[in-house]
Structure 1
Amino acid sequence: MDHQATGGGAVHPGVSPVHLQDTDQLLDPVLFSNDNGSFKLKTVPAFSLHLLISTAISIIGIVLAASYPAEKRCDAYFIMLYLRATFWVITYLFDHFVKIQHNNLRMNGYHDFHRETNMQKGIPLQLVSLWNSALLAVQALIHHYYGENFWEHCAAGWLSPVSYVTAFTVAENLVLTVTHSFYIDKVRKFNNAKLVPDVLRGTDRAGGSLGLMQPGGDTTELLEKQADLIAYLRDHTHKLNQKLHQMQTNVRPVRAPQIP
């Protein structure tokens, strides 16, 4: 008896259609997504929100330093310190989210843009940490210099500790405004360009093949690109192994019929 097989529609004995469907999904390509060219880096809202929070803290500091009466200026000083500590925690969580998004960018094959923005994505946490460390040193000097008279100097007008904290916060906000604006503009241009992954661009890339270097090319850049590609393929190989293991677990073994 002849058996007819049409494409992938044939169902083997002992294997349910559900398991075949699961197997087909597990065998889908994992190196590139099906929507190549439509990948978007979802970090612009996070950077905008982070900058908004920084600006709000700066405005609060200015209001406290300018409007709080003398007897409450020490309270304003501690409020600003609490806000600074909270802002660092927010920045830490923000940095974790941004790293996840950039890792997705790398896993989707956009190595050039990942390398181009690798330093910029870490600036917020580094800057806030550096600013808080400098502010901690200044506050230590203030307490050491004022000593027991610290509570009296809290009401010293524009030379009070709350003014120092506010000045640090405003300066930090100005730097964050510049760095965030450059980053947001760069990401928006990348999202609007709707580029395909680097490897799929092939000969359209100026650098040519990752295995060859044109005369006068940068050896360091070539090695960085090769390292990115190796890490990219290693991660996807690990994912492929996981999918194969899941496929072996889900698909039931097929027993051949015994001939009497």
Structure 2
Amino acid sequence: MDSKGPSPYATGAAVDFSRSMDEDSLVDGPLISTDALHSAIRREFQTIPTYCHSGLLSLLHVVYVVLSVCVAVLCVLEYGQVDQCAKIFGVIGGDSAIVFGKVCLWVLVLLFTGCAQHHHSRARKKGYLRFYREMQGLMHLPLTIHSTGNALLLVLLSAGLSQKVCTYMLLSILGVELLVALPCLVYYTVKVTQFNRVRAAPDVSQEEHSHNYSITSSPTETGFREGSNLEEVVEKQADLIEYLKQHNTLLSKRLLNLTAQH
């Protein structure tokens, strides 16, 4: 008995004819290479300008401490010309001028911390999550150090010590504060400068590149593993999803522009 079943050639033809013209145009069109995408991302890299602010803040901190020592020795401890100090500071006094300068320096550190937080948050949204987490504690450390110095200064002023002892302790606090805060600012400046010089791709692109060209590459830290912090993993996933949404939007715009050009 001859049974007439569906021919495989007919089925294949039906499958071929079922494809839409849009799919044919997408498949037959030129594909964007990975290297081209990486080069486009590098061109759109935005540097973090806070290394200039941290360098300037470091210089101002050194100048403030040097001037404070000069004012304390010449005007407060009266090892210099007291009349000249009285003409410069008037009724304020040298010790009060040092305290006012300390407050102004703290305000500058506060403004620097807010500016750094703003620019690093922008880098975080662009996919540089690892660098953001690495610098998060460092960029807040100078403000913590200066705030601690202010607290010690308030305790010193309210202790009711003699003027000579109070001046020496004030200079000691300023010196220790400089020795601790200045290396933090210098290290922050170096790290941000290196980040701007490398102009690396976002973390996701680096992981994809390492998986494509390295067989023995280490696994990513996106998933949850034993011994890891669940809150940190969830936060990383949220940052990653936010970046991928923005990245997909950017790629869609590029595809539309390429389609309009062709």
* TM range, smaller chain: 0.5 to 0.7
Alpha-carbon distance change, 103 to 90 in structure 1, aligned in 2, over 3 angstroms: same
1:180 paired to 2:173: no
Counterpart contact for 1:105–1:114, Cα < 8 Å: yes
Question: How many residues are matched?
Answer: 195
Match of 1:114 in 2: 132
Match of 1:48 in 2: 55
- Per-residue CA deviation, residues 124-146 of structure 1 (Å, 9 max, x unaligned), is 1111111101111111113xx4x
1:231 paired to 2:242: no
CA distance in 2, matches of 1:196, 1:52: 32
1:117 is paired with a residue whose SS is helix
TM-score w.r.t. length of structure 2: 0.63
Match of 1:139 in 2: 157
Q: How far apart are 1:175 and its partner, in Å? A: 0.9
Q: How does 1:48-197 map to 2 (within 5 A)?
A: 48-68=55-75, 70=78, 75-142=93-160, 145=161, 153-154=162-163, 156=164, 159=165, 161-197=166-202
Amino acid at match of 1:83: G
- What percent of counterpart residues are identical? 18
Q: How far apart are 1:228 and its partner, in Å? A: 2.4
CA distance in 2, matches of 1:131, 1:236: 42
CA distance in 2, matches of 1:124, 1:36: 31
Amino acid at match of 2:203: D
Alpha-carbon distance change, 52 to 211 in structure 1, aligned in 2, over 3 angstroms: closer
CA distance in 2, matches of 1:235, 1:162: 52
Q: Which consecutive residues of structure 2, in runs of 5 or more, have no partner in the other structure?
A: 1-24, 26-37, 87-91, 212-216, 250-262
Q: How far apart are 1:211 and its partner, in Å? A: 4.7
Q: Which consecutive residues of structure 1, in runs of 5 or more, have no partner in the other structure?
A: 1-6, 8-31, 146-152, 242-260
Looking at secondary structure, tell me which structure has more helix per residue.
2
Match of 1:245 in 2: none
Q: How far apart are 1:92 and its partner, in Å? A: 1.1
**CA root-mean-square deviation:** 3.3
Q: Whose radius of gyration is greater, 1 or 2?
A: 2
Q: How far apart are 1:122 and its partner, in Å? A: 0.5
TM-score w.r.t. length of structure 1: 0.64
